[in-house]
Structure 1
Amino acid sequence: MIKETPNPPKTDGHTEIDSAFESRKPAMAKRCAPPMFIIAPDVNAETLLTHACETLASAGVMASELAFLLSGPKCNLALGILQMISLAELSVDRLLDELELEK
């Protein structure tokens, strides 16, 4: 078991929850396991971006479906996540377009 040393409460606007998390950061860092999944070093940028775009598109569909199941603030949260995914997807798409133009 990992022993934690409590930090004194912060007076600069941080909450007690922040202090509790700060005290666990070093312990959490020590527990990091080796990566289970790695990307092959010979995969080119276009392939990586294509997979990232497809993953973002799938995440967008999941967030959209979730938003329709929720209501109120939770629905707004899911829609906010969807918007962030969509913006990331647009960025990746633009990079793919630029790579295509360079060919």
Structure 2
Amino acid sequence: MKKITPNPPCSDQSGTDIFCIAQHIDPETLLVQACETLASLNAITTDLAFEFDGALRHKLLATQQLSVLGELLVTRALDILVPTADSEAAGRTASQH
């Protein structure tokens, strides 16, 4: 007797992809997930940095700053792609200066 598999794997998988992003995910969702991932990296790196001293701490804090920069870039791209009332107000304020 053949047992039915409840969630069989896709037959078109090559076997080399461990992690993949579904093709149908919209850009807004991808950017939101990237932003949240970078925010998590920021928090983890900051917490870890305060457990060390010296050069290692400096490297971790530099990594934290890079993750913040990446988060800012993704947030700005998201604001351009999907403007909100807050992002439009911030854009008007910045253009007045």
TM over 0.5: yes
Q: Runs of at least 4 residues of structure 1 off by over 3 A?
A: none
What TM-score do the two structures reach when normalised by structure 2? 0.69
**Aligned match of 2:30:** 48
User: What is the alpha-carbon distance in structure 2 between the residues aligned to residue 35 and residue 54 of structure 1?
Assistant: 23
Question: Which of these residues, 21, 29, 38, is aligned with residue 39 of structure 1?
Answer: 21
* Aligned counterparts, 1:57-68, within 5 A: 57-68=39-50
User: What is the alpha-carbon distance in structure 1 between the residues aligned to residue 17 and residue 64 of structure 2?
Assistant: 27
| Structure 1 runs not aligned, ≥5 long | 1-32
Secondary structure of the structure 1 residue equivalent to 2:42: helix
Aligned length in residues: 70
**Aligned match of 2:57:** 75
User: What is the alpha-carbon distance in structure 2 between the residues aligned to residue 44 and residue 85 of structure 1?
Assistant: 23
Secondary structure of the structure 2 residue equivalent to 1:43: coil
CA shift, 1:64, in A, is: 0.0
**Aligned match of 1:86:** 68
| Structure 2 runs not aligned, ≥5 long | 1-14, 85-97
**Identity value in percent:** 40
**Aligned match of 2:7:** none
CA RMSD, aligned part only? Answer: 1.5
What TM-score do the two structures reach when normalised by structure 1? 0.65
**Aligned match of 2:78:** 96
User: What is the alpha-carbon distance in structure 1 between the residues aligned to residue 83 and residue 46 of structure 2?
Assistant: 32
CA shift, 1:99, in A, is: 1.1
